[in-house]
Amino acid sequence: MSIKSVVILGGGFAGLWLACRLVEQGCQVEVLEKEPMVGGLMQSVQCDDFRLDLGPHIYFDSHRHHYERFLPEPLQRIRVYYGFGFRGRQIRSPLSPRNLLTGMSLSDVLRVTASLGWTRLFDSRRVPVNVEEWCTAKYGRLAYRFFFRHYIPKVTGLPPHRVSPDWATERERFYQQHNIWKKSLALLGSLLRRKEGEESRLTLYYSPKGAQHITDNLCRFIEKKGGRVRRDALVKDVLLDKGRRVSGVVFSHKGKDHKAKGDYYISTIPLPGLIKAMISAPGSVRGAANRLRFRDLSCHFHGLRRPCLMDKMQIYFPEKKYLFKRVYEDPSVHMTPTDRTALCSEVCYGPGQEEDLPGPEQNSLVQQQLSSFYHLYPEEFTTSLSLNAPFAYAIYETGYLEHLKGVAAFLYGMDNLVSFGRSGLFRYNFLTDRIIDASEAVLAFIHSEQGKSEWLGGINPKGDFL
């Protein structure tokens, strides 16, 4: 195999993992990361005695050996439940009839079941055009009102009738693939399909030193193998040669402009940002990319003078009165006994919604709502910390797919450029395990120049944007 040089835009997990695989195969690799630290969304912070992750970065057994290659110690095995908060109660997921009856009144359970039955009999054949219709057709009108009507706007910033059904179908596919699909979406399907006694804790894996420990070690491995990782390197222009090839990337570093050149270019930066950096890209493509938007995330960490609060590592909050969409407990408290714990509350905001920008007032309101739900006293709170993560969730606004296909068709015509990763593919649930799997297709393209018609650039033969 001839030695090939590859320039990777973005030093998050996707960019670093791909860079590791490339340097292992003898390629010359240069990674450009605009932030002073690598890792992207896989950040860890110190709060009291806990290393807290920016998001509950957990790993499944199927890919555990991949992560442990870059860790000096094995991942820790934890067994936990998921759940959701509803009317002041913690309801365990997946939802069995027993759990529903524990968390809801008998009358509500009967009403929800009747609503679902009515939908299945009389109103389930219509093809849904938005996520409101999708959830209603699958779970019934009342379940939609209870569990989705307010949760979806928390995540997307849009009313459900303006959100594509892809928001739900992609999430459902993710849970199906990990055997945990009844946790979040199949709230009522589980009532009909699961038998008593089937439910069990989830077996997950977690890095005791935090998720960032993995990406930091990936970076060290790249540099040890002769690759280069540039931090504080902001991409300014992706130079196109007659529209079909990238001839170089101009980036600023320490106040000066530099140019990176390679045989191939892999972008893991947000898809609209990539097109924006292509100054010579057609106006129609730039216009389509501008219609693709992301939702940002604010994580509020609170340390507590109290032992582990629950057997559930994370809880979703579908009610409007709660600002946060999800709360997760530091996984380390599930590994060793401790007299302290920490919670992280996730609040989505943006784009362009200045009134939603996080600040001290938001942190204080989150603390009040946590106190109410978990019955906490002010003196039990020790440390609080807020951290923001831009471009956390792709917004699947109705009609987004046409804009996405327009951008994808343009990228498909590029001979030496691939847009890859969660942000680079504009995917909602394209997480670590999927990145590892999909990276093999990128490697095959680079080494053999075959396989791009399968998915690279965006559109596969089935019309899916992968």
Q: State the 10-residue block means of pLDDT for the chain, 466 residues long.
A: 86 96 95 95 83 84 90 88 86 67 77 77 76 89 90 95 93 62 44 44 84 94 96 95 89 94 95 94 94 93 88 90 92 76 91 61 91 94 89 94 91 89 89 87 78 46 42
**pLDDT value, residue 138:** 83
Q: Which residues pair with 237 in a beta bridge?
A: 250
**pLDDT value, residue 125:** 66
Q: Which residues pair with 375 in a beta bridge?
A: none
Query: Tell me, what DSSP letter sits at residue 427?
Result: -
Report how far residue 445's alpha carbon sits from residue 370's, in angstroms, rounded to the nearest whole number. 49
Tokens (6 digits) for 284: 């129609």
**pLDDT value, residue 317:** 95
| Domain boundaries 5-47+209-292+397-448, corresponding CATH code | 3.50.50.60
Report how far residue 114's alpha carbon sits from residue 96's, in angstroms, rounded to the nearest whole number. 17
The dihedral through the CA atoms of 170, 173, 178, 181 has a sign that is positive
**pLDDT value, residue 462:** 40
**pLDDT value, residue 352:** 55
- Are the C-beta atoms of 269 and 11 separated by less than 8 Å? no
Helices of type H across 162-282: 166-177, 189-193, 212-224, 271-277
Question: What are the residue ranges of CATH 3.90.660.20 in the chain?
Answer: 61-80+294-392
Question: What are the residue ranges of CATH 3.50.50.60 in the chain?
Answer: 5-47+209-292+397-448
pTM (predicted TM-score): 0.88
**pLDDT value, residue 189:** 47
Q: How far is CA 357 from the centre of its chain?
A: 20
- Please name the fold of domain 61-80+294-392: Polyamine Oxidase; Chain A, domain 2 (3.90.660)
